[in-house]
């Protein structure tokens, strides 16, 4: 049984209050139990349970052979995962932080993403690459990058980014079951930000479908991951000023849920896109282009983007200045409605 997006778990299915990191742990555990081909690889994920505790306790239960502490070598992790995947295993590789995925970029770009196409489907390398991303937790440099756009421009991989514990588990399970490679981005800032009811056992959240987290009529706010709460906060403040915001949590960054975006913008005629990565080259421009392609005649004002600045993510004393805030979103909302 696949529980799809809009259906939340059935009333009688048991749930538990979980943070996002617990939900991820639970999702990994669920798949380790259900499919013996699932194996986890990464730096410090075994005995240590991961630097964020995403894999806490899993090696104890499933053994060193299925929850593998690897050498410190991202290209090696992804490169060997290609071999494992081709041979029927389902590697779930952790990059300790998304900023450390770059050494593996070549393997992902030239093999993981292309193997199926290259061989007309004879071989493929489905795997999940988990990557905690984003600023706001006072981590050292590089740790805080948001690199989704480097993967949405790479045909052959899907990119997923949950904003809630429920979606995190359901999307992770779906990603592990997906026949294609998935970059699974985890907003560190949201790891322990809230708890919610998460069903026990297996359930899926469909890849490729966004979630309308709030209905509204005047303007559409589009966000994902750690920016969803920021958008929600801005929406609340705008509401108080009489501007009704529709808020969309994209959840999947490749492929985009064009239908949901178009439908909403056609209704509101306005949009603010919020993301943490740099504006130039950011996914916001892709969304803008979806709106251009589908909803040109509906637009009542230019589309606004509130993004990280076009500067490297700074050391943490400046990171709050780098990150989009509800205030900046609110200004863009006003700019748009007053256009």
What is the contact surface with its own copies in residues (CB under 8 A)? 99, 102-103, 105-106, 109-110, 113-114, 117-118, 141-142, 149-150, 152-156, 254, 277-278, 280-286, 288-289, 292-293, 296, 299, 301-303, 305, 309-312, 314-315
State the binding partner of 317 from ligand TPP, another protein, its own copies, none, CB within 5 to 8 A by kind.
another protein
Return the residue of 7, 36, 72, 312 that touches ligand TPP, per CB under 6 A. 72
Beta strands in the chain (DSSP E): 15-18, 38-42, 67-69, 90-94, 128-133, 158-160, 182-187, 196-199, 211-214, 219-223, 245-249, 252-254, 271-278, 304-308
Shortest distance in whole angstroms from residue 304 CB to its own copies: 9
For residue 90, list its beta bridge partners.
Answer: 38
State the binding partner of 301 from ligand TPP, its own copies, another protein, none, CB within 5 to 8 A by kind.
its own copies
> Helix, strand or coil for residue 235?
helix
> Helix, strand or coil for residue 38?
strand
State the binding partner of 210 from its own copies, ligand TPP, another protein, none, CB within 5 to 8 A by kind.
none
Q: Using the rule CB under 6 A, is 96 a contact of ligand TPP?
A: yes
Q: Using the rule CB under 6 A, is 79 a contact of ligand TPP?
A: no
Q: Using the rule CB under 6 A, is 208 a contact of ligand TPP?
A: no
Catalytic, 143? Answer yes
Q: What gap in Å lies between CA 96 and CA 144, rounded to an integer?
A: 11
Shortest distance in whole angstroms from residue 217 CB to another protein: 27
Decide whether 114 or 202 has the Cβ nearer to ligand TPP.
Answer: 114
Backbone angles phi, psi at 87, to 5 degrees: -100, 20
Residue 279 burial (10 A CB sphere; 0-12, 13-18, 19+):
middle
Q: Using the rule CB under 6 A, is 103 a contact of ligand TPP?
A: yes
Q: What gap in Å lies between CA 156 and CA 171, rounded to an integer?
A: 18
Shortest distance in whole angstroms from residue 14 CB to another protein: 30
Shortest distance in whole angstroms from residue 268 CB to ligand TPP: 42
Shortest distance in whole angstroms from residue 53 CB to its own copies: 26
For residue 248, list its beta bridge partners.
Answer: 212, 222
Q: Using the rule CB under 6 A, is 100 a contact of ligand TPP?
A: yes
State the DSSP string of 105-148. HHHIIIIITTHHHHTTTS-----EEEEEE-S-S-PPTTTT---T
Shortest distance in whole angstroms from residue 314 CB to ligand TPP: 17
For residue 271, list its beta bridge partners.
Answer: 220
State the binding partner of 149 from ligand TPP, its own copies, another protein, none, CB within 5 to 8 A by kind.
its own copies
Q: Using the rule CB under 6 A, is 334 a contact of ligand TPP?
A: no
CA dihedral sign of residues 234, 239, 241, 243: positive
Q: Using the rule CB under 6 A, is 117 a contact of ligand TPP?
A: no
Decide whether 201 or 281 has the Cβ nearer to its own copies.
Answer: 281
Catalytic, out of 111, 122, 143, 153: 143
Nearest 10 degrees: Cα torsion 223, 227, 230, 232: 40
Write down the H helix ranges in 129-226.
Answer: 149-152, 165-177
- Segment 36 to 55, residues that bind ligand TPP, using CB under 6 A: 43
Instruction: Give the single-character DSSP code of 98.
Output: G
Q: Is 135 left (phi over 0), alpha (psi -120 to 50) or beta?
A: beta
Q: Which range of residues in 81-89, 95-103, 115-123, 164-172 is near ligand TPP by CB under 6 A?
A: 95-103
* Number of other CB atoms surrounding residue 212 within 10 Å: 17
Catalytic residues, which ones?
Answer: 143
- List residues near ligand TPP by CB under 6 A: 43, 72, 74, 96, 100, 103
């Amino acid at each position: 049984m696949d529980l799809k997006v809009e259906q939340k778990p059935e009333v009688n299915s048991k749930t538990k209050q979980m943070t996002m990191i617990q939900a991820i742990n639970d999702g990994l555990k669920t798949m380790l139990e259900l499919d013996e081909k699932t194996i986890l690889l990464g730096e410090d994920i075994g005995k240590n349970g991961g630097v964020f505790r995403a894999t806490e306790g899993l090696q104890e239960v499933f053994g060193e052979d299925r929850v593998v502490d690897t050498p410190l070598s991202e290209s090696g992790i992804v490169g060997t995962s290609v071999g494992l995947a081709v041979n029927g295993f389902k590697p779930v590789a952790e990059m300790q932080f998304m900023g450390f995925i770059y050494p593996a970029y070549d393997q992902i770009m030239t093999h993981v993403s292309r193997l199926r196409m290259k061989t007309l489907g004879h071989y493929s390398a489905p795997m999940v690459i988990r990557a905690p991303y984003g600023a706001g937790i006072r981590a050292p440099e590089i740790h805080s990058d948001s690199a989704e756009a480097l993967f949405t421009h790479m045909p052959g991989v899907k990119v997923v980014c949950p904003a809630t514990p429920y979606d995190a588990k359901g999307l992770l399970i779906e990603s592990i079951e997906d026949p294609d490679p998935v970059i699974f981005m985890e907003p560190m800032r949201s790891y322990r930000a809230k708890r919610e009811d998460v069903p026990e056992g297996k359930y899926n959240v469909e890849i490729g479908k966004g979630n309308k987290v709030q209905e509204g009529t005047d303007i559409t706010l589009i966000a994902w991951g750690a920016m969803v709460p920021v958008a929600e906060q801005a929406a609340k403040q705008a509401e108080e000023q009489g501007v009704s915001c529709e808020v969309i949590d994209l959840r999947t960054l490749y492929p985009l849920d064009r239908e949901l975006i178009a439908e909403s913008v056609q209704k509101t005629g306005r949009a603010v896109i919020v993301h943490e990565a740099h504006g130039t080259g950011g996914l916001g421009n892709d969304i803008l282009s979806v709106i251009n392609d589908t909803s040109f005649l509906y637009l009542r004002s230019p589309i606004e983007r509130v993004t990280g600045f076009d500067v490297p993510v700074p050391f943490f004393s400046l990171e709050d200045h780098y990150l989009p805030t509800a205030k900046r979103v609110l200004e863009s909302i006003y700019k748009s409605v007053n256009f």
